[in-house]
Amino acid sequence: MRRAWILGRFRHRYGASPLHLAGHLVVLAIAAFAIDRIASGASLAKLIVLYVGFVIAHDLIFLPAYSGLDRVTRATLARLPGPRSARVPVINHIRAPALISGLLLIIYAPLISGKADAGYFQASGHHLEGYLRNWLMISVVLFLGSGLIYAVRVRRAAVGARM
């Protein structure tokens, strides 16, 4: 009884369970360790400049770009003929694979474009060939998988509506 009262009081004050707090503390410890490892191999000033540059690039370039693409996609989907399924929105089945594909493109852009420096092969032992093909194949599989999940969800919603 006392334990339930304490947990209830904790949940009321904190807003979530103690496991939530413990999970966040573990993630913060892992992040602190990662930052320590990164900072030990590079100049901290250069690292801070790099992160500030990423923040500025995100806010000034990427956020308006993906927000605009999302608006265009929503407007295009709203104009398409056919039945509307309010129970299964299609937009998230486009957003998720597009986000993953876009992140892979950003991360591997030098390799996909073939513009990586000559030291890449010496350092990794991997050739630059095939990265574009692999990125395209991963993107196609992501979109096909998301489309398949959407089709299953629409089918389930249609069967559930008939019952």
In this predicted structure, the answer to whether residue 59 has a pLDDT above a threshold of 70 is: yes
Confidence of residue 84 (pLDDT cuts 50, 70, 90): low
In this predicted structure, the answer to whether residue 143 has a pLDDT above a threshold of 90 is: yes
DSSP letter assigned to residue 6: H
Report CA-CA distances (Å) from 56 to 10, 35, 52, 64.
38, 20, 6, 12
Q: What is the pLDDT of residues 8-41, one digit of tens each?
A: 888 888 888 888 889 999 999 999 988 787 777 6
Quote the pLDDT of residue 146: 96
Quote the pLDDT of residue 81: 75
Tokens of 68: 């605009």
The arithmetic mean of pLDDT across residues 63-86, rounded, is 81
Q: What is the pLDDT of residues 100-132, one digit of tens each?
A: 999 999 888 888 888 777 777 777 787 878 899
| 110 against 80, higher pLDDT | 110
In this predicted structure, the answer to whether residue 57 has a pLDDT above a threshold of 60 is: yes
Quote the pLDDT of residue 42: 65
DSSP letter assigned to residue 80: S
In this predicted structure, the answer to whether residue 98 has a pLDDT above a threshold of 80 is: yes
CB 149 within 8 A of CB 77: no
For the chain, the structural domain boundaries read 1-41, 43-82, 83-163
Q: Which residue has the tokens 């339930």?
A: 4
3-class secondary structure, 115: coil
Q: Chain-wide mean pLDDT for the chain?
A: 85
Around Cβ 21, how many Cβ atoms within 10 Å? 13
In this predicted structure, the answer to whether residue 85 has a pLDDT above a threshold of 60 is: no
